[in-house]
Structure 1
Amino acid sequence: MHWIALRWLLDDAGTPDGPVLPTPEALGWWALRYTPHVAWQDEALMLEVSACERLWGGRLQLMRLLLADNPAPDARMLGTQGATSLIALARLRLFAREEKRPQDMPAGLPLDTLSAARAHLELLARLGCRTWGDVAALPRGGLTRRFGAELRDALDAAWGLRPESHAWLTLPDVFEQKLELPALAETAPELMWSANRLLASLQLWLRARQRGARALELQWTLDLKRFNGVNLPPHQQVTVRTAEPTQDMAHLRRLMSEKLALTTLSAPASWLRLRTLETDPWAGASTSFLPEDNRKGDRLHEMVERLSVRLGPSQVLVPSAQADHRPERKQAWRPALHKDTAPPDKARRQAQAAASQPDAIYPPWLLPEPLRLEMDGERPCYRGTLNRLVGPQRVEAGWWGDKEEGGQPAMRDYYVAESPEAGLVWIFRERPAARFSSGEVRWYLQGFYA
């Protein structure tokens, strides 16, 4: 058996502007990437590495990897090793106090570094016991009758005379953590400091699970049941959604801050809970050797999501490809944060793919609605008489009779034409059968070419 004991120290923890430390469960999830045997023992995170240390290049190399991969960069991480968990924990306590370890291990360890002896330090000192070895030398029967079996069992475990028992940490399938606020929050933005700690824990869970967050719920518990004569719900919450799976906590933090800035608390809040609503498998971030592909700044979907939260979902729209041959119906606009809306880049690719047909020459600019053209005899006019150059391309769609088209099919012949003043334009002729009329031919302007 071989154990590693870890501890994190924050000098200015708990201050509004100070760094935050992930929750103890999240620190354990981080350690699970190195060994499956992880447990909390008092103030230290314990890792049993005897079965896996060879995979990391030995004990010294593993300790270097742990210290370099500190999950809380703003905190000072301490680490020690030992043959048993009690020895490793005792050495960690000496290291935190900047005391040297004794030559005789474990007999020379100070008695106050043994958790089981802390309740009896004063009496043991009167008996002349200052170290683990002094207590271990006492008669077993008398020691057990006077101080209980816990102290004797701890000493046996420290010397390797009995097996150790620990509650090993496991990684949950769904992230959900709750913590108590350091003080009652009067406004929603005050929740952000504690939410940062939960987000730090979420990042460790996402990395351990190889998942990306798509939707999160931040919920807070109201400290009052009734306010100004109005019954209050026990909780309030906000939901944060992203267009693509992400492990970027800076982006999620900005989205959550925007949400909370627009939220009003019904009453002071006392507890905070964060849980995942939707996650997707994480494929990792792709990189490129080309400098133009590694530009700094936010990506397009991150900017769209942040604007949607700030301005409102209905104010920021993204394109969504539609299965329709009519040009004006190939693309619809939906709120960017709608859960069924594709990301902006993906939606644009889908729209382009839907519009790509081998025999079609589509213009780069389409009118929102087709413009009916005047006629010069049998020839359509737009800033002069139009001269048809390419066509026809026949489109027959809408025969299923959707409500927006009033049940009428669209039967059209498209042409590329030239206008004396406007240049190349895209026009179509509505075939008489499309309106179930007799003889009348209508021409419409659909788009322009550069």
Structure 2
Amino acid sequence: MLWACILFPQLALDSLLRERDDRDAPLVLLGGPSQRRVLQSVNPAAAALGLRAGQTLTAARALADGFTCLEVDPRRIDALQQLLAAWAYRFSAQVSLHYPRTLLLEVGSSLQLFGPWPVLQARLRQELSALGLRQRIVLASNPVAARMLANAHDGLALEDAASTRAALAEMPIDRIGLRPEDAQAFSRMGLRQLNHVLALPRDALARRFAPQVQLHLDQLLGMRNLGLAFFEPPDRFDARLELNFDVESHQALLFPLRRLLTDLAAFLAGRDCGVQRFKVYMEHAQGSDTQLDVGLLAAERDPAMLLELARGRLESVRLKAPVRNLRLVAEDLPPFVPQHKALFDPRAQQAQPWEQLRERLRARLGDQAVTGLSALADHRPEQAWQANEIGQWSSLCVAPGSRPGWLLATPTVLEEQAYQVQGQAERIESGWWDGGDVRRDYYRIETREGLRGWAYRDLGQGGPLWLQGWF
């Protein structure tokens, strides 16, 4: 088995930065008691001002000005870790959150599907960077070794137990996961690296230290297994985003909405499913939430398409009050079947697949504005079709070119000199059983502009022809 450890060294800060559109502004993350606030982490812009982790807030304000202070929210970090575990479930069925700020994945059985480890690692880094998260990734032969090696390495790949043990032997004694008091005791004995400790007799080590020390060393070397609880993805997606200020325009809501939909797409990819219906709740300081329902005719999980559909529906909603928070809930998660595409796509570069165009039209014009058509077994043209939901196709076969594809809502009179009759008349007599009796002679006509139409004259009556449709 091969285990990948993904360590997020700045998870708390990244969880806040990924939700802001001013990531390049100086930001610091605060912690500690209210009497002595301490800077827990800083972004690069704040570090350029001379701020660093461990400083007190008083000292930081005396040193620089113009930086934003953010608070640590454990609930936000927990929710983000659950999302990351759901995302990682796409690459492995064995995903664990045993260590804080860390994902453990068994990837030995996934390499045949996703390619060799360098390819898979590059894909993991690319998708995590798109989520706005910094990471350190290490591959080792057991999960404990992978986690401890991530303390000092990034990008290290050890695919067997021997190379893993050799890399662990060079690790400092205070970076291998021992309790601080045990690591300090080893240091006082002059044992600075793990290989110094491993050179000691096991019985002497057992007499001097608690059993947990030997157990941890055995698990680190893969001699004993670590009991891991594996993640199981939930059946619904529910994420909430607290905005930094009251939002009064639709345009300002697009950035946080894009972040929520990107997280939803990562969740869907981990479950190998799509979304067909989701709800966006716009929470206000007072009063009930404004609810936005987004429904699709087929399951999708492309974040750009989901944002386009949500944006079209959002622009038609009137905000009754400034928006304080956003919440996205998705419970209808059917299996996702990717669209099959040809190797050489004949469509123009700017052309859209019919499915995406259909959903964009429904989002812009409304659900009832775009419908499907089905043919009925009736000779009367105005009764030979009916509107229905898209996807409910008719099984009635109609000969191509036998009927016009565009019927006018109301027939119009044709001028005598504006057309020429083509061929013989087709007589239709039908509808006596339902009160819509029709007795007509139909003609194919061609106008001087070259347009081909379908016109009729009631049986036994003279006069001009009535245009009913265009071919």
**TM-based fold match above 0.5:** yes
Query: In the alignment, what sits opposite 1:356?
Result: 398
Query: In the alignment, what sits opposite 1:435?
Result: none
Query: In the alignment, what sits opposite 1:81?
Result: 139
Match for residue 264 of structure 2 among 187, 202, 211: 202
The Cα shift of 1:77 comes to 4.8
Q: Is the 8 A contact 2:4 2:106 kept in 1?
A: yes
Q: 1:238-317 counterparts in 2 under 5 A?
A: 238-263=292-317, 264=319, 266=321, 268-270=323-325, 272-277=327-332, 279-289=334-344, 292-293=346-347, 295-310=349-364, 312-313=366-367, 316-317=369-370
Q: Is the 8 A contact 2:442 2:456 kept in 1?
A: yes
Q: CA–CA distance in 2 between the matches of 1:249 and 1:319?
A: 26
Cα RMSD, aligned residues only: 4.7
Q: 1:34-113 counterparts in 2 under 5 A?
A: 34-40=91-97, 41-50=99-108, 52=109, 55=112, 61-69=116-124, 70-74=126-130, 77-96=135-154, 105-113=167-175
The TM-score, its normalising length taken from structure 2, stands at 0.65
1:369 aligned onto 2:421: no
Classify 1:269/1:122 alpha carbon distance in 2 versus 1 (closer, same or farther; 3 Å): farther
The Cα shift of 1:366 comes to 3.1
Secondary structure at 2:4's aligned position in 1? strand
Q: Is the 8 A contact 2:411 2:466 kept in 1?
A: yes
Match for residue 181 of structure 1 among 214, 230, 242: 242
- The one-letter code of the counterpart of 1:36 is A
Classify 1:197/1:418 alpha carbon distance in 2 versus 1 (closer, same or farther; 3 Å): closer
- The one-letter code of the counterpart of 1:426 is W
Secondary structure at 2:260's aligned position in 1? helix
- The one-letter code of the counterpart of 1:256 is A
Deviation digits for residues 10-29 of structure 1 (CA, Å, limit 9, x no counterpart): 8864431559x994444434
Query: In the alignment, what sits opposite 2:225?
Result: 163
- The one-letter code of the counterpart of 1:72 is L
Q: CA–CA distance in 2 between the matches of 1:142 and 1:385?
A: 108
The Cα shift of 1:282 comes to 0.6
- The one-letter code of the counterpart of 2:237 is E
Query: In the alignment, what sits opposite 1:411?
Result: 438
Query: In the alignment, what sits opposite 2:32?
Result: none
The Cα shift of 1:240 comes to 1.8
The Cα shift of 1:166 comes to 1.1
Q: CA–CA distance in 1 between the matches of 2:252 and 2:190?
A: 53
1:341 aligned onto 2:397: no
Q: CA–CA distance in 1 between the matches of 2:217 and 2:367?
A: 63
Query: In the alignment, what sits opposite 1:378?
Result: none
The Cα shift of 1:38 comes to 1.8
Secondary structure at 2:179's aligned position in 1? helix
Classify 1:341/1:295 alpha carbon distance in 2 versus 1 (closer, same or farther; 3 Å): farther
Q: Unmatched 5+ residue regions in structure 1?
A: 334-339, 374-380, 402-407, 432-438
Query: In the alignment, what sits opposite 1:218?
Result: 280
Q: CA–CA distance in 2 between the matches of 1:23 and 1:262?
A: 31
Deviation digits for residues 10-53 of structure 1 (CA, Å, limit 9, x no counterpart): 8864431559x994444434444443222123222212245x26
Q: Is the 8 A contact 2:421 2:446 kept in 1?
A: yes
- The one-letter code of the counterpart of 2:85 is G
Q: Is the 8 A contact 2:376 2:386 kept in 1?
A: no
Query: In the alignment, what sits opposite 2:374?
Result: 321
Deviation digits for residues 196-249 of structure 1 (CA, Å, limit 9, x no counterpart): 343233333444444443322223555x4xx3xxxx33x443122334433322
Q: CA–CA distance in 2 between the matches of 1:322 and 1:57?
A: 46
- The one-letter code of the counterpart of 1:15 is R
Deviation digits for residues 38-73 of structure 1 (CA, Å, limit 9, x no counterpart): 2123222212245x2674699xx2243232453234
Q: Unmatched 5+ residue regions in structure 2?
A: 25-76, 157-162
The Cα shift of 1:182 comes to 5.7
1:16 aligned onto 2:16: no
Classify 1:426/1:57 alpha carbon distance in 2 versus 1 (closer, same or farther; 3 Å): closer
Q: Is the 8 A contact 2:276 2:296 kept in 1?
A: yes
The Cα shift of 1:307 comes to 4.8
Q: Is the 8 A contact 1:366 1:446 kept in 2?
A: no
Secondary structure at 2:153's aligned position in 1? helix
Alignment identity in percent? 17
Q: CA–CA distance in 2 between the matches of 1:415 and 1:425?
A: 10
Q: Is the 8 A contact 1:415 1:428 kept in 2?
A: yes
